[in-house]
Amino acid sequence: MKKIFLLLLIVAIAACKQKTETPKTDKELDELFALMQGSFNSEAQAKADSTYYNISLHMYPIWEDKGNYLYVEQALNSMQNKPYRQRIYEVTRDTDSTFKSAIYTLKTDSLWIGKWK
């Protein structure tokens, strides 16, 4: 009787392990998150139209093991060491056809200046 119970226990454990699946990746979310990453600026627009400023925008991933988080830093291109906006964006899927980003402020944003590098 003990042998049958032990055999059933081993079979049950093996069945549980087989049912364990890795979570499916969201390819569209991954693609959006990848497209958002990088350094961007409005230099061409500022040259073409003097009413626009040359703004730099840096968006780079952080906390990659926790989800889709970006450190975001925005500054006048001529004043990179004094950004006027620093945020953390968390990018997630909202519905089948929409995404959302939660935007967080930083308590001591001066410690983060240039961390996108």
Q: Is 3 a member of any domain?
A: no
Token reading at 68: 């889709």
Which range marks the domain in which residue 74 is found? 26-109
User: How many separate domains does the chain show?
Assistant: 1
Quick one: average pLDDT of 11-19? 54
Whether the per-residue pLDDT at 10 is higher than 70: the answer is: no
Q: What are 47-60's pLDDT values in tens digits?
A: 999 999 999 999 99
Q: How far apart are CA 64 and CA 69, in angstroms?
A: 7
Whether the per-residue pLDDT at 24 is higher than 80: the answer is: no
Q: Is 17 a member of any domain?
A: no
Q: Is 15 a member of any domain?
A: no
Q: Which helix (H) or strand (E) holds 55?
A: strand 55-62
Whether the per-residue pLDDT at 36 is higher than 80: the answer is: yes
